[in-house]
Amino acid sequence: MDCLFCKIASGAIPVTRLYEDELVLAFPDINPQAPVHVLLIPKQHHTSLAHTSATDAPLLGQLLVAANLVAQQQGLENGFRTVINTGDDGGQTVPHLHLHILGKRHMAWPPG
């Protein structure tokens, strides 16, 4: 499978594994957009959120549960932002579903 985040999930590409359970893995973004910028991925390949369905509800739920655990672990008690970019218009650049967790700076809304 020629997928960057599948290679990270399998350990073929080493990363700092900040959080991991049987379904998901968190690691630092290589190009951080905030003092804390963590990526959270399902270990199983899904190209994007648009490539999931109702049967993936437990996995999608675990992504949010884990996002909150990572936020607590990273000391984001003042708040944080979660982002899932989907497809071209969503600005997705890596075609493996991932959730961004950004914190330790104030983020404007709308994002532009």
Q: Which residues bind ligand 5GP (CB under 6 A)?
A: 4, 15, 27-31, 39, 85, 91-94
For residue 15, give Cα distances in angstroms to 20, 48, 109: 12, 21, 31
Q: Which residues bind Zn ion (CB under 5 A)?
A: 3, 5-6, 45, 96
Q: How far is the CB of 93 from ligand 5GP (least distance, A)?
A: 4
Using DSSP's 3-state secondary structure scheme, residue 39 falls into strand
Q: How far is the CB of 85 from ligand 5GP (least distance, A)?
A: 3
- Residue 98: active-site member: yes
Residue 84 and residue 99: Cα distance in Å, rounded? 5
**Catalytic residue of the set 37, 46, 96, 98:** 98
Q: Do residues 66 and 18 make contact, with C-beta atoms less than 8 angstroms apart?
A: no
Q: How far is the CB of 39 from Zn ion (least distance, A)?
A: 12
Residue 106 and residue 67: Cα distance in Å, rounded? 18
Question: Which of the choices ligand 5GP, Zn ion, none does residue 29 contact, using the CB cut-off of 5 to 8 A by kind?
Answer: ligand 5GP
- Structural tokens at position 63: 């992504």
Question: Which of the choices ligand 5GP, Zn ion, none does residue 6 contact, using the CB cut-off of 5 to 8 A by kind?
Answer: Zn ion
Catalytic residue set: 98
